[in-house]
Structure 1
Amino acid sequence: MTPVTPDTLLHAFLIFCRIGACLMLMPGFSSPRVPVRFRLLIAIGATLALAPFVLPAFAPFADPGPATLLRIIVAETMTGALIGLMARFFFLALQTIATAMATTAGLGQLPGLPIDEAEASAPFVTLITMTAATLMFVTNQHAEVIRALAGSYTRIAPGTALDAQAGLIQIADRASETFYLALRIGSPFMIYGIVVNLAIGLMNKLTPQIPVYFISLPFVIAGGLFLLYFSGPETLRLFIAAFSTWLQRG
């Protein structure tokens, strides 16, 4: 059993800096619908759970001075925020492609409610993002998040100053990979949108006296819903698989 000393409490606070900053940006945990106190309790609980395994890494920082302590706090907070931000890129990319999918399906203009974010999104987008967030917990990815945080101490030692250039490179690479993933999973709707717009444009040229847009809109929406029915499960499976792979490999 680890004895509780002032250094132990200080090191536990430093662990909380990394974990709290990560969960502050981590999808699912950072939703405004989750009460602030509940998020704080999750961060404290994760800190206490990981402390026995991570505390030995903080042994070199026994009784640090104020300047050293401030530097470590900033470094740990920035490291945790970087991990959470890279995880959030997955859901930002999914939200972006879901908005494009809703537009191609004729559902982009429908009013929605601000369920997961502060701003309202189309119901189509909310359905995709909320399902992905639910699958994150159903498939036990929240436990993988905690495991990845524990593993981050072996890759980024406590107190290591964040290299700005390396951090920006990681952010750029992660953004590129996530949006490429989003284009892959949204490609059926992109192709559907191109075909539908070409067909509607051709019909409008052939019969300019008929309001083709209003006549074709129900068929466009029906086709988009059928496409979502057949491709939606595979789309979300690919997304969760990519997110899980990143959590396991980093």
Structure 2
Amino acid sequence: MLALSDAQIGGWVAQFLLPLFRVAALLMSMPIIGTQLVPMRVRLYLALAIAIVLVPTLGPMPEVELISVRALYLIAEQVLIGVMMGFSLQLFFHLFIVSGQLLAMQMGLGFASMMDPANGISVPVLGQFFNMLVVLLFLAMNGHLVTLEILAESFVTLPVGEGLSVNHFWAIAGRLGWVLGAGLLLVLPAITALLVINLAFGLMTRAAPQLNIFAIGFPLTLVLGLAIVWIGMADIMAQYQVFVTDALLWLRELAGAG
């Protein structure tokens, strides 16, 4: 009769469950897969499949009792690591959403909003357009595969049981301002062009006060804003490559921060 001790059972369970919690936390919080468009059951099955493939390549996990404070601590640690990695990708995607919202407000298209099915909130149409664009570019350039590669490397650079350092939290906090700054930089040429157009309308109103600037300026600003967005699409790939490279490098640094 095969006799198994509690330590052996705990070691086998920890060998699979601890990596599973990190993988599942990343899939639940990252963009695209972690949105409401993907059912929870599909995300769970995908996390199980990734963990089954990943576990045989990992080193030995710390042996813990199934029901203990240390087991709960290790589980919470893995969940926190996965959520931090997913949140860092969310910052990259929201960079384009913020830039679209800033541009929509400047060109007078902020009133045109639609329901975002991924997040369940109402966002400007231009912000949703930028969001769909960056999702398609991210998938087309295999960004999801790079994310899974970084996740697998995180078990080497940030092993289970070693704990998180203050550098990880400072890395997240220092990146929050990057979203607004990069989003503003992304649409700065378009905002500058719209500002010049508004200044021109202001001078026209000053020169001819009887001119109904609201009847002329608003639709003209809207049309010119759409033309500026259309022209700016020619350079969106170069800008996307710069920001996605920066975001993925930062994600790799975050997984290996000590």
- Using the size of structure 2 for normalisation, the TM-score is 0.85
Deviation at 1:57, TM superposition (A): 4.5
Deviation at 1:233, TM superposition (A): 4.3
Structure 1 residues 236, 175: CA separation in 2 closer, same or farther (over 3 Å shift)?
farther
1:29 aligned onto 2:29: no
1:230 aligned onto 2:231: yes
1:75 aligned onto 2:77: yes
**Matched-pair contact (CA < 8 Å) for 1:75–1:160:** no
**Matched-pair contact (CA < 8 Å) for 2:108–2:218:** yes
| SS across alignment from 1:113 | strand
Deviation at 1:237, TM superposition (A): 4.0
In structure 2, what residue type is equivalent to 1:166?
Answer: N
| SS across alignment from 1:209 | coil
**Matched-pair contact (CA < 8 Å) for 2:31–2:93:** yes
Partner of 2:156: 154
- Using the size of structure 1 for normalisation, the TM-score is 0.88
Deviation at 1:177, TM superposition (A): 3.1
Deviation at 1:87, TM superposition (A): 1.3
Partner of 1:199: 200
Deviation at 1:141, TM superposition (A): 0.5
**Matched-pair contact (CA < 8 Å) for 1:200–1:213:** no
> Which one of 111, 116, 123 corresponds to residue 125 of structure 2?
123
Partner of 2:42: 38
Question: % of aligned pairs identical?
Answer: 22
State the distance in 1 between where 2:117 and 2:241 align: 21
Partner of 1:221: 222
State the distance in 2 between where 1:213 and 1:167 align: 50
> Which one of 19, 24, 35 corresponds to residue 20 of structure 1?
24
In structure 2, what residue type is equivalent to 1:160?
Answer: E
State the distance in 2 between where 1:220 and 1:203 align: 14
State the distance in 1 between where 2:80 and 2:42 align: 22
The structure number with the bigger radius of gyration is 2
Partner of 1:11: 15
> How many pairs are equivalent?
242
| Residue segments in structure 1 that go unaligned for 5+ positions in a row | none
1:176 aligned onto 2:177: yes
- Once the two structures are superposed, residues 77-120 of structure 1 have per-residue CA deviations (whole angstroms, 9 ceiling, x without a partner) of 11111111111111222211210011222211113232332111
Deviates more, 1:34-43 or 1:128-137: 34-43
State the distance in 2 between where 1:108 and 1:73 align: 43
| SS across alignment from 2:115 | coil
Partner of 1:246: 247
- Once the two structures are superposed, residues 128-187 of structure 1 have per-residue CA deviations (whole angstroms, 9 ceiling, x without a partner) of 101111211111111011001011122212123223x32331112222333332222111
Structure 1 residues 215, 42: CA separation in 2 closer, same or farther (over 3 Å shift)?
same
Deviates more, 1:232-241 or 1:24-33: 232-241
State the distance in 2 between where 1:178 and 1:57 align: 38
- Once the two structures are superposed, residues 199-239 of structure 1 have per-residue CA deviations (whole angstroms, 9 ceiling, x without a partner) of 22222222222221221222212221221112124235423
Structure 1 residues 114, 76: CA separation in 2 closer, same or farther (over 3 Å shift)?
same
**Matched-pair contact (CA < 8 Å) for 1:57–1:158:** no
Structure 1 residues 126, 67: CA separation in 2 closer, same or farther (over 3 Å shift)?
same
Deviates more, 1:25-34 or 1:104-113: 104-113
**Matched-pair contact (CA < 8 Å) for 1:72–1:160:** no
